Structure 1
Amino acid sequence: MAWGILSLFVICAECKPGDAFFIRFFRDAALSDTFFVEEDTSIYIPLAGQISLAGVEKEKAVKFLEDTLLSFYARPLVKVYSLSRVYMTGQVEKPGPVYLMPSEGFIEAVAIAGTKDRADLARVKVIRDGKTIGLDLRRPRTGETPHDGDLIIVPKSPWPTLMEVYYVLAGVAVAWSLYLNIRR
């Protein structure tokens, strides 16, 4: 039996493929890792083995996992947090799913995904249950939290970057210089 204190972060209403678990062993950091529910709705946790979560609701899965892990790890401290899985697209460095703790909001989701130079944080769109919500992340509001399954779109800014302005002005200057030289 392994000695350790662990923390378990879980995402699932009814566990399905792609849901994530993060287990942190405070006394043995080498065992800490993120685990995903596989296509057969099971996960593999070292020492505990393959654990099936097929058709299990969140509350029951949490208790089941706690009991299972208690039988393999002596004196563990198990904490369970419900994570939100949101999807990032648009002017972000890492488009795709992002997993968020309950205390994390839209700004953290964008920070995790990273932004490109032309990202417009004043016109962020969130698509939730077929409805579009507009957000200005330059002025964050309290109470706005991501929901599981949200699609967050970071649009491209309509304004040119300083380098783009420089290139245009440099091109105009060269063209004007050529025009003046040819005209003489």
Structure 2
Amino acid sequence: MPAAVQGVPGRIGVAAGVMMRRSLVLAAVAALLLGRETIGLAQDSQYVIGPDDVLSVVFWRDKDMSQDVVVRPDGKISLPLVNDVQAGGLTPSQLRDSIKDAARRFVEDPSVTVVVKQINSRKVFITGQIEKPGPYPINGPTSVVQLISLAGGLKEYTDGKRILIMRTDKAGRKVARPFNYHEVLAGKNLEQNIDLEPGDTVVVP
């Protein structure tokens, strides 16, 4: 009997250690991903603007015209004097040139800067037995494990072996890819840890 009693704390300690290591791994992956997101947002001049993105438009000599704007569903933004300008489908530098051309009717030699402050158009979704389900904006390569980490990890007692990655192919068909979370964390079958694309949905049953 004493031996059995002594064994219980030991098992609890081992379980706690496993949970702690898992939490540390998730935190490290999330920190790495957030760092990459920040770098990508600052450096990717070829990013294509989309609906719901938040832009900072700065007129250096005309501060009253400077604004933070949200790209509308039709891809346009509204600015003082120049009114509607097409933003969706353009890079920040292309939009800057378009705004400068429109502003020349009212401002002599306008100096304009366009910065993407928040990316909301490139989203992936995660649902099911996850701590923080919902949409997540991505910029740059984001793997399934990284998304799960950003979403707070799997809920306690979740199997994690039958996760599905739902994607719409070029023909418009829904394709489901299997994903085994525990295999990937163990370094096995890493090819299933694909980079996600905007519109992908990760389902955790």
So what's the TM-score if we normalise by structure 2?
0.46
Amino acid at match of 1:92: I
Is this contact kept in 2: 1:126–1:153, CA < 8 A? yes
Q: Specify whether residues 50 and 95 from structure 1 end up closer, same or farther in structure 2 by C-alpha distance, changes over 3 A only.
A: farther
2:162 is equivalent to residue 126 of structure 1: no
* Residue of structure 1 in register with 2:71 after alignment: 37
Unaligned runs of 5+ in 1: 1-5, 24-33, 156-184
* Residue of structure 1 in register with 2:131 after alignment: 93
CA distance in 1, matches of 2:78, 2:166: 33
* Residue of structure 2 in register with 1:147 after alignment: 197
Amino acid at match of 2:136: V
Q: Specify whether residues 41 and 91 from structure 1 end up closer, same or farther in structure 2 by C-alpha distance, changes over 3 A only.
A: same
More helix as a share of residues? 2
Amino acid at match of 2:86: L
Which of 96, 99, 104 aligns to 2:142? It is 104
Amino acid at match of 1:128: R
CA distance in 2, matches of 1:123, 1:22: 39
2:163 is equivalent to residue 113 of structure 1: no
Cα deviation for residue 137 of structure 1 reads 2.4
Give the total of aligned pairs: 130
Q: Specify whether residues 35 and 150 from structure 1 end up closer, same or farther in structure 2 by C-alpha distance, changes over 3 A only.
A: farther
More strand as a share of residues? 1
Cα deviation for residue 77 of structure 1 reads 9.3
**Secondary structure class of the residue paired with 1:87:** strand
Among all aligned residue pairs of Structure 1 and Structure 2, give the percentage whose two residues are the same amino acid: 23
So what's the TM-score if we normalise by structure 1?
0.51
Cα RMSD, aligned residues only: 4.3
Cα deviation for residue 87 of structure 1 reads 1.0
* Residue of structure 1 in register with 2:95 after alignment: 65
Q: Specify whether residues 39 and 84 from structure 1 end up closer, same or farther in structure 2 by C-alpha distance, changes over 3 A only.
A: closer
**Secondary structure class of the residue paired with 2:181:** coil
CA distance in 2, matches of 1:132, 1:117: 24
Q: Specify whether residues 97 and 77 from structure 1 end up closer, same or farther in structure 2 by C-alpha distance, changes over 3 A only.
A: closer
Cα deviation for residue 38 of structure 1 reads 2.6
Q: Specify whether residues 36 and 85 from structure 1 end up closer, same or farther in structure 2 by C-alpha distance, changes over 3 A only.
A: farther
Larger Rg: 1
CA distance in 2, matches of 1:128, 1:134: 11
Q: Specify whether residues 41 and 112 from structure 1 end up closer, same or farther in structure 2 by C-alpha distance, changes over 3 A only.
A: same
* Residue of structure 2 in register with 1:52 after alignment: 85
